[in-house]
């Protein structure tokens, strides 16, 4: 159960994150409203936080905070014209506007934090599974049956094998001690898995932060979707809640998935829930299968993301490496298991 004190502490941690990209001033505005409610002993944000944690006890605080921010951003309309995102106005003035908007929209905000997730979808994160899975599958001439868990916009599984996407984005991400090449492999099936409502484009757009930086990232998403190989890649979508491990394992087994990917999803849940999901996935993989996971280091509070791989039946993560930036612009530092994994499987 997250208290407003924990929420405030996370808001302060997020303001110290070295990458701003537009959210930092808003965290300060939100923190000032939480502080006022703490002083008064009650308020709408306190009630929204309590109700969310009664209903969704396994959410991490960092995910709750970013989800709340996205719901508030949606409520404020176009960020370019919204006073709450206007850096030239004093924090107190923006906080007053935000407080009035929250008062008028309590039900919608609550509905969002109870039913949604942060669904920010990246055009560049596919670079990690692209190189790992393609080299892995090429080595054994494996035909890949892929499930991408928490697929968001459903772009990542469609981008695999896309040379145009690779040529545009790969130069922005270098690997320590490795120059992976573009390798095309056979994808027999590609599935994207998410919770309802899946593929809500308007919500996914709201998940992009209030800045020119995020506008650029969104343009990349639109460009990536428009590429011929991505348009041609047939993707099945499934509405499966990852928090239901039995249903998840059954779904994976019934469709005989031999490669599973999961990017920026597990961090949204507490450790016990993550472990249950990982156990369900590795338990359902056939021999010679692979699970590739990419999750933010420090649950979003520090830059970068950890790349982990799992073999069938083994929930022990292999430390493949760390990406310097969660949007996969920068470099991958090799992890302690990278050399052995590369020697034996890539
Ligand atoms: C931050 S987005 C990541 C999208 C994409 N994988 C990427 O890295 O660009 C996280 C996605 O995981 C999905 N997700 C979170 N919890 C889930 C659950 N319990 N079951 C299914 N999908 C879930 C969310 O709905 C959201 O679309």
Q: Is the dihedral of CA 146, 237, 189, 120 positive or negative?
A: negative
What are the sequence ranges of the domains in the chain?
A: 4-115, 127-345
For 41, residues 6+ apart whose C-beta sits below 8 A from its C-beta are none
| Confidence (pTM) | 0.96
CA-wise closest residue to 72 among 106, 120, 37: 106
Secondary structure of residue 43 in the 3-state scheme: coil
**Burial class, 84, CB count within 10 angstroms (exposed 0-12 / middle 13-18 / buried 19+):** buried
> What distance in Å separates the CA atoms of residue 314 and residue 266, rounded to the nearest whole number?
17
Max intra-chain CA distance, the chain: 64
User: Ligand 1: residues within 6 Å at CB?
Assistant: 117-122, 125, 150-152, 156, 194-195, 241-243, 263-265, 268
Tell how far the Cα of 262 is from the centroid of ligand 1, in angstroms: 8
The whole-number pLDDT of residue 1 equals 57
C-alpha of residue 95 to centroid of ligand 1, in Å: 30
Cα 225 to chain center, whole Å? 18
- How many angstroms is it from 217 CA to the middle of ligand 1? 18
Contact 200, 121 (CB under 8 A): no
Evaluate the CA torsion angle 226, 229, 232, 237 in order and state its sign.
negative
Residue 114 sits at φ, ψ, to 5 deg, of -85, -25
End-to-end CA distance of the chain: 42
Residues 6+ apart with CB under 8 A from 223: 123, 168
Pocket test for ligand 1, best of 147, 192, 265 (most atoms within 8 A of CB): 265
Provide the β-strand partners of residue 236: 191
What is the chain's alpha carbon radius of gyration, rounded to the nearest angstrom? 20
Closest among 208, 203, 11 to 91, alpha carbons compared: 11
Of 190, 195, 272, the one to substitute when testing ligand 1's pocket (max ligand atoms within 8 A of C-beta) is 195
The one-digit pLDDT tens for each residue of the chain (346 residues) are 578 889 999 999 998 888 888 898 899 999 999 999 999 999 999 999 999 999 999 999 999 999 999 999 999 999 999 999 999 999 999 999 999 999 999 999 999 999 999 999 999 999 999 999 999 999 999 999 999 999 999 999 999 999 999 999 999 999 999 999 999 999 999 999 999 776 688 999 999 999 999 999 999 999 999 999 999 999 999 999 999 999 999 999 999 999 999 999 999 999 999 999 999 999 999 999 999 999 999 888 888 999 999 999 999 999 999 999 999 999 999 999 999 999 999 9
Q: Separation of 317 CA from ligand 1 center, angstroms? A: 20
Choosing among 1.25.10, 3.40.50, 3.30.300, 3.30.460, the CATH entry for 127-345 is 3.40.50
Q: How far, in Å, is the centroid of ligand 1 from the Cα of 8?
A: 24
Report CA 270 to chain centroid distance, whole Å. 15
């Amino acid at each position: 159960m997250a208290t407003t004190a924990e929420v405030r502490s996370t808001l302060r941690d997020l303001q110290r994150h070295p990458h701003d990209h537009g959210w930092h001033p808003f965290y300060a505005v939100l923190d000032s409203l939480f502080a006022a409610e703490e002083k008064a002993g009650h308020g709408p944000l306190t009630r929204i936080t309590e109700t969310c944690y009664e209903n969704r006890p396994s959410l991490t605080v960092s995910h709750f905070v970013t989800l709340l921010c996205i719901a508030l951003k949606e409520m404020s309309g176009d960020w370019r014209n919204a006073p709450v995102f206007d850096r030239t106005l004093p924090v107190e003035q923006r906080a007053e506007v935000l407080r009035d908007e929250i008062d008028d929209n309590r039900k919608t905000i609550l509905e969002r934090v109870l039913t949604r997730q942060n669904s920010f979808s990246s055009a560049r994160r596919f670079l990690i599974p692209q190189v790992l899975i393609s080299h892995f599958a090429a080595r054994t001439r494996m035909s890949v049956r892929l499930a991408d868990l928490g697929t968001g916009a459903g772009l990542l599984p469609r981008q695999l094998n896309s040379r145009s996407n690779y040529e545009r984005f790969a130069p922005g991400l270098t690997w320590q001690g490795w120059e992976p090449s573009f390798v095309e492999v056979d994808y027999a099936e590609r599935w994207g898995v998410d919770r309802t409502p899946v593929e809500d484009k308007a919500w996914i757009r709201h998940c992009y932060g209030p800045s020119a930086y995020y506008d650029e990232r969104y343009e990349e998403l639109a460009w990536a979707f428009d590429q011929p190989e991505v348009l041609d890649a047939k993707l099945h979508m499934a509405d499966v809640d990852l928090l239901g491990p039995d249903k998840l394992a059954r779904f994976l087994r019934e469709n005989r998935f031999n490669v599973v990917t999961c990017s920026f999803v597990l961090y949204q849940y507490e450790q016990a829930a993550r472990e249950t999901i990982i156990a369900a996935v590795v338990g359902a993989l056939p021999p010679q299968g692979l699970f590739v996971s990419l999750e933010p280091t420090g649950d979003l509070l520090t830059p970068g993301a950890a790349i982990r791989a799992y073999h069938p039946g083994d929930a022990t993560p292999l430390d493949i490496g760390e990406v310097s930036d969660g949007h996969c612009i920068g470099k991958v530092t090799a992890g302690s298991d990278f050399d052995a994994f590369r020697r034996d499987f890539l």
